[in-house]
């Protein structure tokens, strides 16, 4: 009897149970579904935020790779590491679409009908982060708080949001900005449109 195709939700839940258990148990790590990039123009399926930002993208059997090039570009602007979890039927095509710093893993149904993961390529560090797009992960009050801590006068903090991001990029090294963004994300108590994992 042919096994049922794996659905995105099954792969996601298995990733949480098997690949992300350590990250979830770390008090200094935030694991979140559907993190919006560049003001929501693209979303990371699962984001892991600790000493770096890691993005996990899932392409189950029923998915297409149509959006993958756009997702690769968006991830490449902000994440330190990325992992693609892909159904075997998408593997060959996906390998031509993701840069060599992306890790790649195949998810398939195991003999006991659970999800089996197989690593195809390890993740490496992304060298192409765009500081301005990274800054756009911040909400306006977060950007203002960081600028305030850098001594920017209150009147300048009323500037349009994009100008605040530009100021952050001009005043901070990428390493410092990245640390400030990660700290802001981890300290959020509410997330817009954040759905709990069922």
* pLDDT for 49: 93
User: For the residues of 91-144, what is the DSSP string, one character each?
Assistant: HHHHHHHS-TTSEEEEEEE-TTSSEEEEEEE---------HHHHHTTS-HHHHH
pLDDT on residue 195: 40
What confidence tens digit (pLDDT) does each residue in 10-55 have?
899 989 888 888 888 888 888 989 888 876 778 899 999 999 999 9
pLDDT at 26: 86
Q: Which ranges in the chain belong to alpha helices (H)? A: 8-14, 21-25, 68-78, 91-97, 131-135, 140-149, 161-171, 174-187
The dihedral over CA atoms of 185, 190, 191, 197, expressed in degrees to the nearest 10, equals: 110
pLDDT per residue as tens digits for the range 169-184: 999 999 999 999 999 9
pLDDT in tens, 143-157: 999 999 999 999 999
Q: What pLDDT is recorded for position 5?
A: 77
Percent share of the chain, pLDDT over 70: 93
């Amino acid at each position: 009897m042919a096994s049922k195709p794996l659905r995105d939700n099954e792969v996601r839940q298995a990733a949480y149970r098997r690949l992300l258990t350590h990250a979830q148990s770390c008090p200094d790590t935030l694991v979140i579904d559907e993190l919006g990039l560049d003001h929501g123009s693209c979303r990371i399926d699962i984001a892991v935020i600790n000493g770096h930002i890691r993005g996990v993208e899932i392409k189950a059997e029923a998915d297409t790779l149509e959006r993958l090039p756009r997702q690769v570009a968006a991830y490449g602007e902000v994440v330190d590491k990325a992992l693609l979890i892909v159904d075997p039927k998408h593997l060959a095509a996906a390998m031509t679409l993701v840069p060599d710093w992306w890790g790649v893993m195949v998810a398939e149904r195991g003999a006991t009908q659970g999800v089996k993961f197989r690593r195809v390529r390890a993740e490496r560090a992304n060298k192409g982060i765009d500081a301005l797009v990274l800054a756009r992960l911040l909400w306006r009050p977060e950007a203002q708080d960081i600028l305030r801590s850098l001594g920017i006068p209150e009147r300048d903090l009323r500037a349009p949001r994009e100008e605040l991001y530009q100021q952050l990029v001009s005043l901070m090294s990428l390493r410092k900005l990245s640390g400030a963004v990660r700290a802001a994300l981890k300290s959020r108590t509410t997330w817009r449109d954040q759905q709990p994992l069922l």
